[in-house]
Chain A
């Protein structure tokens, strides 16, 4: 009976040691896995941040390209408007010259100037950018645009 008791105690001790050893190994494995998880979590977080940083930079690059195109388009439109202005300016000068030429030969019985002076029997002989040349009862006169009344200035396109 004593021997059996000793055997049970011995067998239990061996089994206990075996289980304890296995348990220790398993626990060590778990600890290592937890450490690995922590390390991987750190690395993965770093990679995620890197990816976000690169994607952010690429999106910004697209925005910059879009803005550049926008600036270029606006510059082109402004250049076109300026070029059109130059052409239209020439057209306007031609039209004004033609309109002024139509006034050459026109006769006014009375031609009132901006300062109130009156010229009688006026005939327009020449109209250019510097003024209106007329012949009147008092002789040949060159009238500067500033000497004309607003109505007359409009008539001769000053």
Chain B
């Protein structure tokens, strides 16, 4: 009968090393899992916050199945309106300047006639 103690010791050692390595790997996975859950919770909180803000913001855009499309359509339409208004400002400013220049000229002429009258 051979002595099996050395084999037993070696086997035990190998098994212990294997288990230790598995435990370390499991620990790493657990840490990753915890970090992932933390990130998920942060994302959920951000999502909830955004949803809450969007509730009020969505009321400001025309109702649509996609508020994003609605906002983009609104932006395009407003941009066109803004371009038209910018052109109008140029025209109206010129109109005002002309009217003001005519008034200033007439004012000067009237003043001159009045001065003449006083003399």
Within 8 A of B (CB), among A14-43: 15-16, 19-20, 22-23, 26-27, 29-30, 33-34, 36-37, 40-41, 43
CB < 8 Å: which of A20, A67, A99 contacts B85? A67
* Among A26, A60, A85, A157, contact of B26 (Cβ-Cβ < 8 Å): A26
Chain B residues contacting A95 (CB-CB under 8 Å) are: 110, 113-114, 117
Interface residues on B, range: 35 or more
Which residue on A lies nearest to B74, using beta carbons? A57
Q: How many A-B residue pairs have CB under 8 A?
A: 169
What's the tally of chain A residues with a CB closer than 8 Å to chain B?
63
Q: Which of A22, A26, A102 has the most CB of B within 10 A?
A: A26
**Bound-state Cα–Cα, A41 to B42, Å:** 11
* CB-CB nearest in chain A for B68: A50
Q: Are B19 and A16 in contact (CB under 8 A)?
A: yes
Q: Given A71-B85, A92-B113 in contact, is the A37-B43 Cβ separation under 8 Å? A: yes
Interface residues of B in 1-57 (CB under 8 A from A): 4-5, 7-8, 11-12, 15, 18-19, 22-23, 25-26, 29-30, 32-33, 36-37, 39-40, 43-44, 46-47, 50-51, 53-54, 57
CA distance A30 to B30 in the complex (A): 8
- When C-beta atoms are compared, the residue in chain A nearest to B1 turns out to be A1
- Additional pairs, 15, CB under 8 Å, beyond known A19-B22, A63-B78, A81-B103: A1-B4, A26-B29, A30-B36, A33-B36, A41-B43, A44-B43, A50-B68, A51-B57, A67-B85, A67-B86, A74-B92, A77-B96, A85-B106, A88-B103, A88-B106
Would you call A60 and B50 a contact (CB within 8 A)? Answer: no
- Identify the closest chain A residue to B73 (Cβ): A57
Chain A contacts of B116 at CB under 8 A?
99
Residues of chain B with a CB closer than 8 A to A77's CB: 96, 100
Are A23 and B40 in touch, CB under 8 angstroms? no
When distances are taken between beta carbons in the complex, the residues of chain A under 8 Å from B26 are 19, 22-23, 26
User: What residues on A are CB-neighbors of B32 within 8 Å?
Assistant: 30
Tell me, rounded to whole Å, the shortest Cβ–Cβ distance linking A89 to chain B: 6
Residues on A facing B (Cβ under 8 Å): 1-2, 4-5, 8-9, 12, 15-16, 19-20, 22-23, 26-27, 29-30, 33-34, 36-37, 40-41, 43-44, 46-51, 53-58, 60-61, 63-64, 67-68, 70-71, 74-75, 77-78, 81-82, 84-85, 88-89, 91-92, 95-96, 98-99, 102, 157
